[in-house]
Amino acid sequence: MSRILRTMAGSPGTVVVMAGGRRRVVIVGYPDAELLDIACPSDVFDVADRLARPGYAVELVSFTGRAFRCQSGLTLVPHGRLDRVRAPVDTLIVAGGLGHLDAAADARLVECLRRLAGQARRVCSVCTGATVLAAAGLLDGRRATTHWLDARRLAAAYPAVTVDPAPLYVRDGNVYTSAGVTSALDLSLALVEEDHGPALARRIARGLVTYLQRPANQAQVSLFLAAPPPDHQVVADLAGHIAAHPAADLGTAALAARAGVSARQLSRLFEAHLGTSPARYVRTVRTEVAAHLLSGTPLPLSAVAHRCGFGSTETLRAAFVDHFGTPPSAYRRLHQRHVQPPARSATV
């Protein structure tokens, strides 16, 4: 949680404490918002309010101030209207959800958000809430993330924003954006850690029975959750071959020969259908397979590296840190599924 990606130097600003000695957190919802985008941060700050001083006062607002139906079908009753919120605001959070495009197209909502953001110490979005921040111009010239399924659309719609679909959350100055849905927990815990330190954040995470300290730059989604693209048979066949034989010769020349195309054509196909080069795709798959072995087997790291096509534990470690933001030894401790530890293991 302390590993928030910082791309601009400087402090987020002076802490805003209300007269009652609590930081004011305002969450903006709208019709067809994602319930978890609202519930995750509100729960984290609610627990923090009971454990820390200064605590947090959480308010849910909508543009009209009337109850709104979340995309799950549940109806939420906000505390008030967005246009009636006045300073001080410590942390402003915009939820995502299926209604994010309608919210971003509402000029009055966007203007209220822009005004309020100028008075807040921190401005945050969860999931596709980044689109609403972008519509308000709050992400111009900044690096941001969003749900990986919406990243290309956001980048195309707002070219002034540098969209990175990989991390769980990104901080650029005093603006924080997080990835899909439950990454709101990771961001909220990171904000609490920023305010009160890692011990309180860990205590809250344990109480919520959630993953502890996922690094900001951990990948949003595993390749094992995404099937090979069905629209090009060559790419689909090679993706299956790579996943099934990670220790094989998977150089671009070898893959091109297997597919019966030139290396240049293969690179074009991978970029077009997977959004990456053959070499980067192979490295990512090998890292994902290594993660599976680390969490589900007692194999020493040297054996994991060999089975996954890495030449050494050092190469495995470098790939792991790049992809997950954490070394393989730490990943194993967090993910191991009740397997006996290896008798001997290299230190990575």
Provide the pairing of β-strand 5-6 with 143-144. unpaired
User: Is the whole-model pTM more than 0.75?
Assistant: no
> Cβ(71)–Cβ(34) under 8 Å?
yes
Across the 348 residues of the chain, what is the mean pLDDT of every consecutive 10-residue run?
33 53 95 96 96 96 96 96 93 97 98 96 97 98 91 93 87 94 88 93 82 59 50 84 89 96 95 90 91 82 94 94 87 62 40
**Integer CA distances (angstroms), 205 to 127, 154, 209, in order:** 20, 31, 6
pLDDT of residue 335: 66
Look at residue 331 in the predicted model and tell me its pLDDT: 83
Ramachandran angles phi, psi of 24, nearest 5°: -95, 120
Residue 91 has a pLDDT of 98
> Are both 100 and 169 inside the same structural domain?
yes
CATH number of the domain residue 138 falls in: 3.40.50.880
178 and 47 share a domain?
A: yes
Residue 218 lies in a domain: no
How many domains does the chain contain in total?
2
CATH of the domain at 297: 1.10.10.60
Judge if 31 and 179 occupy the same domain.
yes
49 and 164 in a single domain? The answer is yes
Do 186 and 78 belong to one domain? yes
- Do residue 193 and residue 237 come from a single domain? no
Residue 38 to residue 21: CA distance in whole angstroms: 23
At residue 66, the pLDDT reads: 96
- The answer to whether residues 79 and 197 belong to one domain is yes
Residues 178, 274 within the same domain: no
| Boundary residue ending a domain (156, 172, 207) | 207
What pLDDT score was predicted for residue 151?
A: 87
pLDDT of residue 11: 40
Phi, psi for 28 (deg, rounded to 5): -100, 120
Residue 136 lies inside a defined structural domain of this protein: yes
Whether residue 214 is contained in a domain is answered as no
Domain span at residue 302 reads 223-335
